[in-house]
Chain A
Amino acid sequence: MANVDQTLDASGLNCPLPLLKTKKALSALDVGQTLCVTCTDPGSMKDFIAFCKQTGHELLESSEADGSFSFLILKR
């Protein structure tokens, strides 16, 4: 597991809140820092991949366990 600089718990929130909160959290980080987001929105798996693809941030890891999703994003 890569180094985690910041965490964000967006569990229980639905589209588009997890992404909006992620964007906000990433804004507060420096380039090269990482953010670990956890959420329960079942649409988040596709959305976070699309978000990173369009914003240029790097999705280092993504996983799902018992309806909970987690994403490790490297700020670019």
Chain B
Amino acid sequence: MPSKKLAIIATKGTLDWAYPPLILASTASALGYETQIFFTFYGLQILKKELDLQVTPIGNPGMPMPSNMPIPVILQAMPGMQALVTNQMKKRMANKGIVGISELRDLCIEADVKMIACQMTVDLFDFNRNDLLDSCEYGGAATFFEFAGESDINLMM
């Protein structure tokens, strides 16, 4: 029986949004799916060799605050707040046994998840190929559809 296929488009470059595509891709691989992720726009941050993914509560009223203390929106914009919240999130994740994003990405690579960087956005942001994973490939929309067209599941995140 040919394996099922999963195609994901990852468009977000925050720490929290880096998780869903990588969790689903690694799990799908473990279930026998052939999996491909197309990273475009801010999603390219997930392909950086040196990951520096952050979270911010700004514009995200659903994010639980440390100790459940609500922080007024104007204070959320204070310098250092993003680093503080990111730090808290990472600590919380570690305490809950949630895998670090870099390790999760390694697990995807190990599981042969194919990662494609959107060439157009690489150019748009003047990203240097040397700053992105050596194992990632480069392509455009047609490259994505070549795989997506024969995939059983297509997700955009």
Contact = CB atoms under 8 A, between A and B. Distances in A.
Q: Are A and B physically bound partners?
A: yes
Interface residues of B, number: 12
Interface residues of A, number: 15
A20 B107 contact: yes
Contacts of B98: 14, 17
Interface string A45-76: 00000010011000000000000000000000
Interface of A: 12-17, 19-20, 22-23, 40-41, 51, 54-55
Contacts, number: 34
A14 B27 contact: no
A22 B27 CA distance: 11
Which 6 pairs, one residue from A and one from B, show the smallest C-beta to C-beta distance?
A23-B30, A14-B97, A13-B97, A16-B27, A12-B97, A14-B98
Chain B's interface: helix, strand, loop or mixed, by majority? loop
Contacts of A40: 97
A48 to B, nearest CB: 12
A54 B99 CA distance: 23
A23 B82 CA distance: 36
Nearest to B24: A16
A24 to B, nearest CB: 8
Contacts of A16: 23, 26-27, 30, 99
Contacts of A17: 97-99
Contacts of A22: 30
Contacts of A20: 26-27, 30, 107, 111
B22 to A, nearest CB: 9
Contact of A55 (B31, B96, B97, B111): B31
Interface string B67-94: 0000000000000000000000000000
Interface in B1-49: 23, 26-27, 30-32
A45 to B, nearest CB: 16
Nearest to A16: B27
